[in-house]
Structure 1
Amino acid sequence: MSNDASLPEDEQGLTSLASQLVQHLSEQKFAEIVAHFDATMTASLPVEHLARVWEGLIGQVGSLKRVGAARVTVRGAYRAVLLTCAFEQASLDVKVAFDQAGQVAGLYFTPTEPPTLAWEAPAYADLSTLTEREVVVNAGQWPLPGTLTLPGGPGPFPAMVLIHGSGPQDRDATVGPNRPFKDLALGLATKGVAVLRFEKRTRAYGDRLDVQQFRMDQESIEDALAAVALLSREGAVDPAQIFVGGHSLGGTFAPRIGSEAPHLAGIAILAGATRPIVEMMREQIAYLASAEGKAPDQVNAQLDGLKSAGERIRALQGGAAPGPGEVILGAGAAYWRDVGAYDALATVKTLKMRIYVAQGQRDYQVTEVDYRAWEEALAGRKDVTLKLYPELNHLLMQGAGKSTPSEYQRPGHVDERLVDDLAGWMKGASGTPP
């Protein structure tokens, strides 16, 4: 990539070097990259560990196809170059942070910010009756901006906290032109339910989080509990009718949140997984290979990288010592051990609260296999509602045929039936309280 003449001369040099380092990653020239690291980065991400990080990344998103636009941000004494890179299955921003001496002080991979697209509220949302207010969740070391959506009228209302899936998500759970959490907030509030949604900690503070100490608590649990506490102090909310609704990874974590907040009225598991992450990633790669007609050698390379990552994760969960600064599939040993020790199905069985499980049958990321596992774990309970929606994908939106990532780039809205069912369940029309 050539230098951008519109940038200051020193920034042109940084963008050129960052582009060169990304090219070295693609060519697996890891020693040449580490040669540009500062002392801290050299110690925490030596050649062999950088190789594992890259191997895990391309196992998820495929090989690098193109390095695109660059932009420079400044924070204190550091300058960061963000390069938008096209991989086989995703667009990622590769962020290379430089110190004052021009050495690399940080290297990050994050989903590319979606373009600003026109978004319209779903037809089932009556905006004339609603109010929205900005709030701060977990005011302290990690304050997170959020939005509280309230129905019209005096209340007090039942309320739901929405918990994100994996990755650095915003409060709307934005994917392309779609904002499923905003759909849920507006739709549920139209039906008399208050909704709190907020920025995920990994989005707001991703460059400040210690990947070696990062666990489930830091990803979701602490902030979910803080959001529940905030709602319990909200005068327009009925403190006895507060629910947590988790989507995808948030659905997997929902039983853990429920176990730490037994005063909740209930949890909603929306496309929540029950199986190990690596197992599901392998399944997704095979599915997409079939749906998109990928060449076998590309698929095998991805599966081989994922197999290696999975074996290392299992070794760490079995007690193997992590290497200095070791990161696998974006997370350190502490996270993988924490996730490995958590049994969502065993935990959900212990909860003494109402439970709602919703699953789209066209979802290729979390599938009917997971839905049936929840169903089996919760069999015989009268305080549980389970619903399988044949036409819905992972974003809880309608479609036809095989779902693929390209479907997420088409504008849509969370299905109105799900919104109706969820609101009715919260207000007691479905299921029987324990």
Structure 2
Amino acid sequence: MKSQPPRMLTIFLSAAIIGSCMPAAAMASQDGKIPQTLASQASAAGEDYLPLRALCEWVGIPIHWDEAKRTVTAAKDKHILSFVLAKSGMPAADLEGISLAPDEVILLDSTAYIKRETAVKAFGIEAAWCGGKLEIPARDLAARARAFVTQLQKNNRAGTDALTNDAFKEAGLPEGTVQLVKQLAQFPITRERIESNAVHRTVILTSESPKMNFDLEIRFDKDGCVDDFYAGMAFEGYQRPSYDKPDAYKERRMVIGTGDHAVEGTLTVPAGKGPFPLVILLQGDGELDRDSTVFAQKPFRDLAVGLANDQVATLRMDKTTREHFAQLNSHYTIGDEFVEPVLEAVKAARVDPDVDPGRIYAAGHSRGGWMIPRLLAKDTDSLIKGAVVLAGADPRYTEIDSYEHEELGGMIPKEQLAYYRKQLELVKADSFDPKSPPAAFELPPNPYWWHDIRGYSPADEAKLRSAAMLVLQGEEDFQVPLASLKGWKEVYAGNPAVTYKTYPKLTHLFTEGKLENGIGNYKIPASVPETVIADIAAWINGSASVPK
């Protein structure tokens, strides 16, 4: 609902894009091949050397020419390669102040060439010059990631297509994401790291702007081709809670779903002898990771390690819309985002020896909590024993209805509500077809998502299946105000299996904060209090009522 966090956590930067600082004409000789006259300077020059400017401009390494000093400088992160172009003879080159051998950087016809092994030493990049173009082997994912981002920023479709697989070419990227990446071209990449999960190998490039940092996540398939991409703000500052006791649990990875819906999850199992009850954690809006990270807080990780102390296992997963952002963005539904992943997780968890198949619960936060009635309704075999709603928006209202109720809170400025209401008139029309939406329709993420959610009434679907529920709410929540709890009590009136509790000092993320501080609360490291964890554990372990 409108009271949930914005779907895109990125903030678009309004600054001019700085173009290339040196002409491309000096990249190489006319046919793109290194002239054979280099044979007198070094053996097998055509295979051993790369045109320096072509390499730098392909992978986004800043390269500068100081005409007064006749010096070329290329810098990748903190690795600085510089050389002085003498009036005649070999250039004097050094790497971070250490002189290079005379043949490591050579000059011919005003074009500099760098030895392939020197490129590895200077920039950590493997490359070859083949058939008049640069090629980066599939094993050098970091260089391929930088090349993809650089060519995307230059609007070079042929360049990006050379690095992507067919599925990515077909899916493409939302225009907003492309524009963000282009704007980031003016800021340096200050960090590069590679992470692997069971679905992708991902290179994460951190771009540092004056106000915030952004992480560009370039995902690769097994063949070293770009399979997906996500750009979002870089979050730092998280601190492990005091109740995180590594000896009290073990963690292992699980794959949930298949194909472009496959995600990796972390199963946190308490120490001791199982099987244990299991809570499957479901995030709210946005392309969130498995920890539900927002700025300096990771509430899902806190819940996982905390519940382990009380002999409750948890499964938390990256969202499909994060792992497969490009592949799914144009057509996923609320079922794809919030329902199917949990149902798949239930099936996978039931056969795990550490999990008690008769005690599997779902805990939904924010939009994930608001979706609990549909999740339970779709669980036709009643494999989910019960559910926890964490700051779920008022279930009396549909998504579209919520835009007429400003008292429900949220992060959409009042001045934008008129625009949303006008857009929603298009969605409400009987003629609204997600395959061919009106030309004026612009709401993210896509028309299929809106077509699906317009037909979801939590109050109506709550009648389709009765289950034990625990509904929790922070009283300092500016996104889902305390008044929303009234809706849950009304919808589930007369059901003795539903328990409610509020927490006076807690925000939307169930960490301490002040209502008036808004999103600023999340920028301060804070953990989910043990009282919340103890209440959830007591309800699960004993099916007991939680003190109000």
Structure-1-length-normalised TM-score: 0.73
**Structure-1 residue corresponding to 2:255:** 136
Equivalent of residue 271 in structure 1, options 391, 395, 405: 391
Residue 285 to residue 401, structure 1, CA distance change in 2 (3 Å): closer
Structure 1 residue aligned with 2:457: 343
Indicate conservation of the 8 Å contact 1:149/1:196, yes or no.
yes
1:256 aligns with 2:304: no
Say yes or no: does 1:371 pair with 2:485.
yes
Q: What does residue 183 of structure 1 align with?
A: 302
Where does residue 410 of structure 1 map in the other structure? 524
Give the one of 342, 349, 362 matched to 1:231: 349
Alignment of 1:159-178 (within 5 A): 159-178=278-297
1:11-22 to structure 2, matched below 5 A, reads none
> Secondary structure at 2:268's aligned position in 1?
strand
* Aligned residue identity for 2:356: D
- Contact kept? 1:164, 1:250, Cα under 8 Å: yes
Q: 1:392 aligns with which of 494, 500, 506?
A: 506
Q: Residue deviations 1:252-298, cap 9 Å, x none? A: 12221212222211011111123444645984998779xxxxxxxx8
Is 179-188 or 123-132 further displaced after alignment?
A: 123-132
CA contact (8 A) 1:266 1:353 kept: yes
Q: Secondary structure at the match of 2:326?
A: coil
CA 1:94–1:170 in 2, change beyond 3 Å: closer, same or farther? closer
Deviation at 1:315, TM superposition (A): 3.3
Structure 1 residues 424 and 310: CA distance shift in structure 2, 3 A: same
Question: Percent of counterpart pairs with the same letter?
Answer: 28
CA displacement at 1:139 relative to structure 2: 4.2
Measured after TM superposition, the shift of residue 130 of structure 1 is: 1.0
CA distance in 2, matches of 1:107, 1:234: 30
In structure 2, what is the equivalent of residue 312 of structure 1?
A: 426
Name the residue aligned to 1:113: 234
Return the letter of the residue paired with 1:372. Answer: K
Q: CA deviation at 1:17?
A: 8.9
Distance 2:480 2:210 in 1: 25
Code of the aligned partner of 2:298: R
- In structure 1, the residue matched to 2:446 is 332
- One-letter amino acid of the counterpart of residue 235, structure 2: P
Instruction: Name the residue aligned to 1:294.
Output: none
Give the partner amino acid of 1:264: I
1:349 aligned partner, one-letter code? K
The equivalences for 1:43-58 within 5 A come to none
- Cα gap change, 1:326 to 1:219, in 2 (>3 Å): farther
Q: Partners of 1:242 and 1:260 in 2: how far apart?
A: 15
Relative distance call for 1:136 and 1:399 in structure 2 (3 A) is same
Q: Would the aligned equivalents of 1:378 and 1:384 in 2 still touch at CA under 8 Å?
A: yes
Q: Which amino acid letter does the alignment assign opposite residue 312 of structure 1?
A: L
Equivalent residue runs for 1:278-297 within 5 Å? 279=402, 283=406
**1:358 match: secondary structure:** strand
Contact 2:281–2:364 at 8 Å: present in 1 too? yes
Task: Name the counterpart of 1:323.
Answer: 437
**How many residues in Structure 1 have an aligned counterpart in Structure 2?**
383
State whether residues 258 and 264 of structure 1, in contact with CA within 8 Å, keep that contact through their aligned partners in structure 2: yes
Q: What is the alpha-carbon distance in structure 2 between the residues aligned to residue 305 and residue 20 of structure 1? A: 32
For 1:198, which of 297, 317, 323 is the aligned residue? 317
Provide Cα deviations, 1:336-377, integer angstroms capped at 9, x if missing partner: 121111111222233232111111121111222322111111
1:244 equivalent to 2:362? Answer: yes
> Is the 2:281–2:363 Cα contact (8 Å) retained in structure 1?
yes
Check whether the contact 2:230–2:322 (CA below 8 A) recurs between aligned residues: no
Give per-residue Cα distances to partners, 1:13-32, cap 9 Å, x unaligned: 997997799xxxxxxxxxxx
Cα drift, residue 314 of structure 1:
2.7
Matched residue, 1:25: none
**Distance change >3 Å, CA 255–CA 95, structure 1 → 2:** same
* Aligned twin of 2:468: 354
CA change 1:285–1:379 in 2 (3 A) is closer
2:511 is paired with a residue whose SS is: coil
Match of 1:76 in 2: none
Task: State whether residues 409 and 480 of structure 2, in contact with CA within 8 Å, keep that contact through their aligned partners in structure 1.
Answer: no
Could you tell me whether the CA contact under 8 Å between 1:255 and 1:267 is conserved in 2?
Answer: no
Q: 1:67 to 1:313 in 2, by over 3 A?
A: farther
In the TM superposition, 1:95-106 aligns within 5 A as none
In the TM superposition, what is the alpha-carbon distance from 1:157 to its structure 2 partner? 0.9
Matched-pair contact (CA < 8 Å) for 1:68–1:83? no
Counterpart amino acid of residue 192 in structure 1: Q
1:8 corresponds in structure 2 to 56
Q: Residue type of the partner of 1:169?
A: L
* Letter matched to residue 137 of structure 1: I
Q: RMSD value over aligned CA atoms? A: 4.6
Q: Per the alignment, do residues 322 and 258 of structure 1 end up closer, same or farther by CA in structure 2, a change over 3 Å counting?
A: same
Of 134-143 and 245-254, more deviation after overlay is shown by 134-143
1:107-153 per-position Cα deviation (integer Å, ceiling 9, x unaligned): 998532324x4532x12333222111111112455321111111111
> Per the alignment, in what secondary structure is the counterpart of residue 187 of structure 2?
strand
Distance 1:68 1:326, change over 3 A: farther
Decide whether aligned partners of structure 1 residues 418 and 141 sit closer, same or farther in structure 2, where only a CA change above 3 A counts. Answer: same
Return closer, same or farther for 1:335/1:161 CA change in 2, 3 Å cut-off: same
Could you tell me which amino acid in structure 2 is paired with residue 113 of structure 1? A
Q: Does 1:125 align with 2:244?
A: yes
Q: 2: CA distance between counterparts of 1:335 and 1:68?
A: 34
Question: Which secondary structure does the structure 2 equivalent of 1:427 belong to?
Answer: helix
1:11, distance to aligned residue in structure 2 (A): 5.2
Whether the 8 Å CA contact 1:255–1:348 is kept in 2: the answer is yes
1:332 maps to a residue whose letter is N
How far residue 200 of structure 1 moved from its aligned partner, in angstroms, is: 0.8
Q: How many Å separate the matches in 1 of 2:458 and 2:348?
A: 25
- Secondary structure at the counterpart of residue 336 of structure 1: helix
Contact map agreement 1:163 1:197 (CA 8 A) in 2: yes
Question: Does 2:201 correspond to 1:153?
Answer: no
Deviation at 1:390, TM superposition (A): 1.9
The TM-score with structure 2 as length reference comes to: 0.59
Report the equivalent of 2:12.
none
Corresponding residue for residue 132 of structure 2: none
Give the match for residue 327 of structure 2.
208
Residues 362 and 391 in structure 1, CA contact (< 8 A), matched pair in contact too: yes
Instruction: Report the alpha carbon displacement of residue 234 of structure 1 after superposing the two structures with TM.
Output: 1.1
Q: Quick check: 1:3–1:15 contact (8 Å CA) kept in 2?
A: no
Distance 1:109 1:44 in 2: 13
Cα distance, 1:398 vs structure 2: 1.4
> Aligned-pair distance for 1:333?
2.1
Corresponding residue SS for 2:289: coil
In 2 relative to 1, CA 184–396 (structure 1 residues): closer, same or farther, beyond 3 Å? same
Tell me the amino acid that sits aligned with residue 419 of structure 1.
I
Please say which structure displays the higher CA radius of gyration. 2
- Structure number having the greater helix percentage: 1
Taking structure 1 as reference, are residues 339 and 283 closer, same or farther at Cα in structure 2, changes over 3 Å only?
same
